[in-house]
Amino acid sequence: MGFIRPRSAVTPLRRAANTSTAAVGHRPSVMQAVALHRPEDPMHCIRPGVLAETARRFVGAFGDATGGARGGDVLYAVKCNPEPAVLRALWDGGVRHFDVASLGEVRLVRQMFPEAELHYMHPVKGRQAIRQAYQQYGVRDFVLDSMDELRKLMEETDEAADLGLIVRLALPKGNAVYDLSGKFGAQPDEAVRLLRAVRVVAPKVGVSFHVGSQMLEPAAYERAIALAGRVIAESGVAVDVLDVGGGFPVSYPDVTPPPLDDFMAAIARGVAALDLPAHCRIWCEPGRALVAAGVSLVVQVMKRRGDELFINDGVYGSLSDAGVPGFRFPVRLLRPFDGMFGGGIEAEAVPFAFYGPTCDSADRMNGPFLLPADVREGDWIEIGQLGAYGACLRTAFNGFDQARLVEVADRPLLETPGHRISTQAA
């Protein structure tokens, strides 16, 4: 069977020389990095200071909301951006818990942070993944949403007596930008049955849910917590964990969410209304809220056709969300060789659509993306808010799988209410 070879689907990002490990005080700006490297491949610009301070702010806010005595844990959803430079910055910001959803993510985080707390939050796992996560990587917390998964977990851990088993509760369809109500979760009656079953075999049990990605309504968390409370009460189980999931939103050009503190206040009210044991810890699983603003993408214009720009990245690369989902992202034109780093007067901004580099006509991003009217072939464009689900969704389609990574000192292109950080942190 030697002809079978494993292959990673995506080529790892290439680091630009002399910029990826620069000391904090010596990181270049995005404009300086473009001037230095003149990139013809997409260039991902990581802002470690922004990522660390965003994490610090979120961890502190969630801890305050859940109460010092009870305690709250922030589990970063690794699927959102598994780039090691991003993970290191979040660790620097105080993140010590990680929501992992595959054996690959388990390996990555355990290799980087041996002392990290790993929580396997995918409700449906392969048997080999369960065995290795438990036996080789010390994972003890697992999510499930069915009796079949409970049996699988017990069989593959040899009826282990040190498991943390968290029941994923299904929620009614909500109004998040990405609804997540269809694929995972036990209906309330089944969740009651599961809670009673896991209480018999595990020393730590809990309930989790997910209100959907990019949730713009703080009250959605309060309603979900109330439903979880009813399930817990009906089960008669004293839970050790209540996991309020992810979905915390960030700003985009056409979206300004309520401040982060509004979401924390809603969670605090919801938790306070429940009769939870004093030792019960509150978890959350943010992804987008921690990393979106911390990474941008620099692309180059290969051709202009009226109000359409052909660029060197697209929906098969890091701009998947700009395709069918229709996300708009903040953009700015970069002309590092015009005067002092493009500091002159720019033309009036007008709307453009983008085409990616592949041969597929579906590789189109309607935007609109507002850029100076005189944008031309050879210009660079920085696209912001791409730290979430950007580089990690890249494919190798059509051979356009090359990209590079630099660490920069810039602030985000767009701020989210309640996420603003000090200038020094950037």
| Cβ neighbours of residue 378 closer than 8 Å, sequence gap 6 or more | 300, 301
215/212 Cα distance (integer angstroms):
6
Q: What is the pLDDT along the chain (426 residues), one digit of tens a residue?
A: 455 555 454 445 656 544 444 455 689 999 999 999 999 999 999 999 999 999 999 999 999 988 755 679 999 999 999 999 999 999 999 999 999 999 999 999 999 999 999 999 999 999 999 999 999 999 999 999 999 999 999 999 999 999 999 999 999 877 656 666 678 899 999 999 999 999 999 999 999 999 988 999 999 999 999 999 999 999 999 999 999 999 999 999 988 999 999 999 999 999 999 989 999 999 999 999 999 999 999 999 999 999 999 999 999 999 999 998 888 999 999 999 876 454 555 688 999 999 999 999 999 999 999 999 999 999 999 999 999 999 889 999 999 988 999 999 999 998 887 655 443 444
- Which of 255, 270, 291 is the last residue before a domain boundary? 291
| Cβ neighbours of residue 147 closer than 8 Å, sequence gap 6 or more | 193, 194, 197
The answer to whether 243 touches 144, Cβ cutoff 8 Å, is no
Residue 299 CB neighbour total at 10 angstroms: 27
Do both 54 and 42 map to the same domain? no
Domain-embedded: residue 202? yes
CATH code for position 397: 2.40.37.10
The pTM for the full model equals 0.91
Identity (one letter) of the amino acid at 231? Answer: V
386/78 Cα distance (integer angstroms):
15
Number of domains in the chain: 2
Domain that holds residue 125: 49-291
The answer to whether 108 touches 102, Cβ cutoff 8 Å, is no
Do both 203 and 299 map to the same domain? no
Cα-based torsion angle of the residue sequence 92, 96, 98, 103 in order, rounded to the nearest 10 degrees:
90
Do both 94 and 25 map to the same domain? no
Domain-embedded: residue 32? yes
Domain-embedded: residue 259? yes
Do both 308 and 377 map to the same domain? yes
The answer to whether 101 touches 184, Cβ cutoff 8 Å, is no
Do both 309 and 223 map to the same domain? no
Domain-embedded: residue 193? yes
The answer to whether 291 touches 282, Cβ cutoff 8 Å, is no
Tell me the two tokens of residue 64: 């305050």
173/171 Cα distance (integer angstroms):
6
* Phi and psi at residue 270, to the nearest 5°: -65, -45
How far is Cα of residue 258 from the mean position of the Cα atoms in its chain? Answer: 19
Query: How do 295-305 and 349-355 pair as beta strands?
Result: unpaired
Rg of the chain (C-alpha set)? 22
Supply the DSSP string of 321-380, one letter for each residue.
GGSTT-----EEEE-TTTTTTS-SPPPPEEEEEEE-SSS-TT-EEEEEEEEETT--TT-E
CATH code for position 277: 3.20.20.10
